[in-house]
Amino acid sequence: MHVSKDAFASAYNEAIKKNQPLLLSPKGKMMSFLCTPVAITEEAIIFKNSIPLEVLPEVITSTEFTVTCRDYLVMSAALFAHGTEIRFPTHHISLLPQSRTEARQIFSSEEIAEVVIAHPFDAGTVLRRRLYDLSKGGLSFRSRTKSKLMQPGRIFEKLEIVHPSAPAEIKSGRIIYIKQIFEESGRNYHQVGIQFINTP
């Protein structure tokens, strides 16, 4: 499916107007960066630079970078960090439509939405985590610290999903990724992605 540059520019300018951070991800690195869009020109797509200096050497070794903006995925073979700005030169980028097949609901920090996790090794203990997003196929939540319990492949037999727009439901799921997210403020946290396991 062809992506119109004008349609993408419209979505990007809307993100600028709303001061809406976009997620920048270097391929092959388990980290991402929330970057506020600044401008789009004939030469480059420009973001605020939220990449800490201590991880920059690792980030720039990536061969591909992606940014999600509304219904579009921007892929670039080059990233240039200039002080307070990051630039994707337009001659290095590809614009693709999002390939996500299931609708994803993203929760704001003001919404009371959480997942209650039954501890797999300590009966009676539960963990409560604020939901970041939810779809029919899975969910993700954010944690300030990375724990030994949260490892890729870990299975949780009971996940109770509670949020105001639907009745509570119980799922089983498997951790499929843990990604470190860096904010523009310098703070960082871990995002844990869980894929639901089909049960009879």
Residues of the chain with CATH 2.40.10.220: 105-196
Residues of the chain with CATH 2.30.110.10: 5-97
Question: What does the pLDDT profile of the chain (200 residues) look like in tens digits?
Answer: 456 778 888 889 988 988 888 889 999 998 999 999 999 998 889 999 989 988 988 998 999 999 888 777 888 988 888 788 999 888 888 877 655 555 677 777 677 899 999 998 888 899 999 898 888 899 999 887 778 888 899 999 999 999 877 788 999 999 999 999 998 888 888 999 999 997 54
Are the C-beta atoms of residues 24 and 47 closer than 8 Å to each other?
A: yes
Give the separation between CA 195 and CA 198, rounded to whole angstroms: 9
Architecture of domain 5-97: Roll (2.30)
Q: Could you tell me the fold of the domain covering 105-196? A: Thrombin, subunit H (2.40.10)
Beta sheet of 85-89, edge-to-edge order: 37-40, 44-48, 85-89, 80-82
- Write down the pTM of the prediction: 0.73
